[in-house]
Every structure is written in C-alpha cells, then in structure tokens.
Amino acid sequence: MATQRFRSRFDRLIALWILRIFSPNLCRASFIEGSSYADVDIADFLGLPKNDDEETIGKIPRLLDDLQSSLEQSVSTALPAQARDSFTRFAASIQLNPTEQRLLEFFACMEIEPPLADTCRIVRKFIGAETSRFLSKVLDLPRNAVTKAMAPGGRLMKCGLLKREHSNKTANPEFHSEALAVRLLRDSYNPARLLKLFGVVTLPPPDLGLEDFPHLQTSLNLLLPYLKIVQAKRKPGVNVLIHGAPGTGKSQLVRVLGQTLGMPVFDLDTADNDGDPLHADQRLSVLNLAQTYFHETQVLLVFDEAEDILTPSLSNRGMANTHKGWFNQMLENNRQPVFWISNSIETLDPAFSRRFDFILEVPIPPKTQRGRILREKAGNLASPGLIEHLAGIEHLAPAVITRARNVIQSIKQGIPKADRDAALTHVIGGILKAQGYPDPARATIQMVQPGLYDISHLNTSADLPQIAANLRKNPSARLCLYGPPGTGKTSFGHWLANEIRQPLLLRKASDLLSPYVGMTEQMIAQTFETAKRDGAVLLIDEVDSFLRDRTQTQNSWEVTQINEMLTQIESFPGILIASTNLIDQLDPASMRRFDIKLHFGYLLPDQASRLLVSYCRNLHLPPPTSADLKLASTMDLAAPGDFAAVARQHRFQPFHNAHSLLLAVIAESDLKTNRCRKIGFQ
C-alpha cells in the first residue's frame, strides 16, 4: 500500500498511530471482527480494500503491516508547523517534559481527529486497563516515563490537562476539552485565550479604592506590607483567607490590593466553557495549572466561592477534608499568593486555618461608610432622608445597593421622581427579604420623632444632658436603664447616640436568642464585635433575658449564655446601654459591671401635662383646656409610651379634641393596673 494517499504529514502521523494501535501485539483483534472491519471509516482512511469477503479480509493483516513499516521508515510524519509551535510553547509555559508534551499532543489529536477518535473508541477498555503499555507502544516512548507522566500526581493530571471520570480511576484518560484541542492544533498561539479556556481569567481594574475600606484599615496596614515583602522575595506558600457575608466587597478588595501592589489579578472560574459547574478537584486542577503557568510572573490568584473546598457540611465533607495531607502540602508550596474567598468559615478545620498567612473578615461596612456608598451610587435616585434611613440598615451590603441602583437607573425615565424613593426601597426590600431580613419599607424611619421626644419628659433623677456631654468626651461606659415598660428607656438610647454623634446598634432579645445550642453565645459575641468595629453605641433591650440570676436557672446552656453576656460586657470598650423592666431578676454579678444604673419612672404630674400639650400640637388638635391639664396631672401610671400608643390609634380612629386623646391615654395606663391584679380566689 502506498503512503502517498495521505494528504499531509499530519495525516501520515495519525495513520501511523492508528496502525500501531492495531498492530499484532496490541489491539489488532479489535479491528478485524470475523469477516468485516470494526469501523469502515477507519479502513477507508487507511486506504484498505472495501470488499469484506473472506479472501480480502485474509490479506488485511499483511497490508496493515506493510503500511506501518512504510510509515515507520518515513521521516515525513509530524504535527503541522503551527500546531507544533503551539504545543512547544505551551509545554514550556507549564514546564512539561518531552514525554508529557508527546502525550498531550496525542490526546489532543484523539479529541478532534475522527479517524484517531474512532480508533480509540474501539479500544477504549484496553486503554483504561493498560494505559501505560498502550501509550508507550503507540507513541514509542519508554514505559516508565509514560507511567510517571500519567500518574494522578503528575503534571498532566494534576493541572487538568488530562482527566478521568471522577468515579473511575481506571477510566480512559481524556483531553481537557475540544475547545483547547482546536486552539492548540489549528490556531496561532495565544496565551491569554488558552488560559481563559482553562478558567483562568484576568480581572478588570477595581471599581473601588483603598479609601473605600476604612473599616479594614488595621488589617490592611499589616497585609499590604506583608504582600510587598512576599513580592520582593518571591516567598512560596502564601495564602490569604478572606471571608464575610455575600456582597461585602471581598473580590473587589483583592483587585484593589493587586492594583496597589502593581500585580495582575487572575480569577479561577467556577464553571467550564459550557457553563457547567466545575467539581472541587477540577477547580484545584485549574489552580495548579495557574501556579505552574505563572512560575516566572508575579500575580495574585483568586479562588472565589471556596466553601466546597474548605468548609464541610452535612452533605459535603469538602475537598480539603477528604485529602488533608495533599491539600496542606499544596497550601505550603504555592508559587503565587492565593486569595481564598468564602462567605462562611464556621466549619473550617483548625488544621487549615493555621496554614493561612492572613485571615481577614470583610464585614458589611459601618453606617458612615454605607451612607457614603449610598450617596455615591444612588444619590441621584433617592432623597437624603431615604439615604439616611437605608444607611441605618446594618445588614445592607454594598452589592445590594449597587444591584438595586442599576435596576432603578435603567428604568428611571418611566418612574416619576416622587416615586423613586419607593421604587428603590422596594427593590432593596425584595433582596433583603430573600436574605431573611426585614423589609426596609416597613421599618420605622425615625425612632425619635422631632417635636415629641424631649428628655424633660423622662422621669429620672440623673442629669441626662451632662451624661451625654461627658460621654461625647470619653465614649466608654456601661449604662443599665431600668423601670416599667414605656418609660422611655429605648428611646433614650436613640437620643444619646444622636447626641454624641455615634451610630446606634440595637439588639432585642429576639435578635440574639437561638434554639440551637451555642448559637446564642456566638450571636452575642458577634453583636459586641460589630458594635466595636463600627464604633456604635450598643443598645441591648430586654437584657434580663440574658442576665437572669444564675441561682434561678435550670439548664446549663442558660448559665453559658449568662456567662457569655457578662464576659462581653466586662470587655466592651465602647458605650453599652442595657435596658430591662425586671432589674430585681438580674444576676448579682451583672450589677457591678454597670457604671451607671438609671431608673426611669412613670410621668410626673407636670410631665404628663406638658406631654399632652406636645401631642395635641403634633396631631393638630385644639390645645387642652385647664381641666384637661388638671386631669392629666392626676395620672400616676402614665408613661411616654402610652402617649405614643394612643397617637398611633389616631391614624385609624381619629381624636377630635384633647379630652378624647387624654381619656384614651388614661385607658391605656389603666391596663397596667389590670395586669397587676392577681388571678384566682382571694
């Protein structure tokens, strides 16, 4: 048979590989099945006779041997020049040896060249069972070199250039992808396009700057100099773990660090070219390839959404936990710094946490920063009042603001200007509700209403203005506010925070209590940490839920919660306000931890009269008569909260004069007397 029938040197190379596969000492029996070919297209490619009678088939082995002998002696079998250049340059970039390069070329051809692909399909089981023997015979390579190159820890497998089925270690090896094979065999060499096929993507410059992360300044003042030293000394094994709630700017922060250091930042995709999600081991293969590819270039690598790698769950132990030794070794030998980004690290194994050079939490920015982001992103879409209100939502992440802004910005021409506040709040509210947070549209915009809240209406012996003035100079104190419900304790916390120009972090008992053991303690600790980070006044309402007398508790977990609260109160450096209606039930150890204990009592006669005048004015009612004022001064159980409750009734059951308003307040306050009556026989 003549070898001239093959159109190119490349076709002759493919034909030689096929003939070696179907040689007598390898897989010939798989090609000739009785009196027919296993695949007529392969026979046609090789130029074999088309007749399949017994006489013709009997001549095929000799024809195959002659054709193989002729091609073996030919010097004109090779990859196309452009493909040869691409493979050589690519192999050099990821440090492949000659054996590894030959294997990569073969599997790439097997991926997109039909005659070779059909041939390997026929002998698929043989390849999977005797991979090293098969490849060494077909490619004329030393068997031990092939075995080493095809090992799971070898560069071809470790970098994902070749892959096997996840559930079958003996499965036939396959090339990375058809797209990569086409790029290497048929296109001119383009490193950036090749990297993108692997899922290594250059990230664009950040939208933010270092000035947008003032709440992380302490950490950044340490991390940046460290990364500069790493950059100068090319220190291996550098890993930084960044965690925090979704949308807080974790990925943006890495891009900012790269820009500051003058280092390109590359992201490792979570999906393949078809959009299918990559398994954990596939993503780690991409990381290994990127580490190898950038062995001479200084870059930052971003491994986003690292939860399935680092943190186990009930349904997934995590790749790191199932391959601990291997994963630890990888962390210690990284050539380029890797930023691992995760929304949660609650279940992170301590064996891994100690191997990270730096662990940085990126929380939701404090109120001042949220306000600045809102003004910059949505200042032309929202009123100043709405921006102030939204800035006070402590769980409002920057990404939520940006996404809602983009929605309203795109349709603002169809929204009347007067309705834009409601539209923006609606979009933000939908996202927050999906995250399990309250709808901001239903939140009270101002806890302390102008013209109604006046500290002169509070029945306490302390000099409240003087306390505020002193705390403005020295913002560190622990206050316990106690007294009956509705006497203005919580509102005083809002007033004080406003007076000393600090944000307020309000936590009710329901915000902190959890049905899961240990979770309440975590939420208590997190609350104090948030207040410390934001420089906020921390107001804990109904603190008696956490500070009950330990001698009266029945469960060990109750004691643990009390101990946690006492510990946090003791070490808190800022301003803490704890309010309770049941001070007589507090643990004795808690009392010495408060610097000031302020009693808030029911309204004094003149306070009740003045508050009646204020509410009449605010509700646009006629001023109270002298008889009304005299009657107001006789109330002995009235509180500011009673007036506030009655004012809410006015919205759907309007009062027509001061007297009807006053009677409603008296009825509200009389309910306290009813609650105090004993039930049962006397």
At residue 296, the 3 state secondary structure works out as coil
574 close to 532: Cβ distance less than 8 angstroms? yes
Write down the mean pLDDT value for the chain.
Answer: 87
Alpha carbons 68 and 254: distance in angstroms, whole number: 57
- pLDDT over threshold 90, residue 4: no
State the average pLDDT over residues 131-147: 95
State the average pLDDT over residues 626-654: 91
Alpha carbons 645 and 653: distance in angstroms, whole number: 12
**Amino acid 447: pLDDT:** 42
**Amino acid 332: pLDDT:** 83
529 conformational bin, left if phi > 0, alpha if psi -120 to 50, beta if neither: alpha
- pLDDT over threshold 90, residue 622: yes
Which tops the pLDDT comparison, 216 or 276? Answer: 216
Alpha carbons 569 and 594: distance in angstroms, whole number: 8
* DSSP 8-state symbol, 279: P
Lowest-pLDDT choice from 160-169, 574-583, 605-614 = 160-169
What is the tens place of the pLDDT at every residue in 479-488?
Answer: 999 999 999 9
- pLDDT over threshold 50, residue 680: no
Contacts of 92 (CB under 8 A, 6+ apart): none
What is the tens place of the pLDDT at every residue in 125-137?
Answer: 888 889 999 999 9
- pLDDT over threshold 70, residue 516: yes
At residue 450 the predicted structure's pLDDT band, cuts being 50, 70 and 90, is very low
Among candidate residues 144, 162, 140, the one with its CA nearest the CA of residue 153: 162
> Quick one: what percent of the chain has pLDDT higher than 70?
91
- pLDDT over threshold 70, residue 3: no
Give the pairing of strands 596-599 and 239-243.
unpaired
Residue 573 phi, psi (nearest 5): -90, -10
State the average pLDDT over residues 178-204: 92
Per residue, the 3-state secondary structure of 207-259, as one string, reads CCCHHHCHHHHHHHHHHHHHHHHHHHHCCCCCEEEEECCCCCCHHHHHHHHHH
Residue 299 phi, psi (nearest 5): -140, 170
- pLDDT over threshold 90, residue 312: no
State the average pLDDT over residues 503-510: 87
At residue 512 the predicted structure's pLDDT band, cuts being 50, 70 and 90, is confident
662 conformational bin, left if phi > 0, alpha if psi -120 to 50, beta if neither: alpha
Q: What's the sign of the alpha-carbon dihedral 184, 190, 192, 193?
A: negative
DSSP secondary structure letters along 439-506? -GGGS-S-SS-TTT--GGGSB-SS-HHHHHHHHHHS--EEEEEESSTTSSHHHHHHHHHHHTT--EEE
What is the tens place of the pLDDT at every residue in 227-270?
Answer: 999 999 888 899 999 999 899 999 999 999 999 999 999 999 88
**Amino acid 674: pLDDT:** 54
Q: What is the pTM of this model?
A: 0.75
**Amino acid 300: pLDDT:** 95
- pLDDT over threshold 60, residue 676: no
Any idea what the Cα angle at residue 392 is, between residues 386 and 405, rounded to 5°?
50
What is the tens place of the pLDDT at every residue in 324-345?
Answer: 766 777 788 888 999 999 998 8
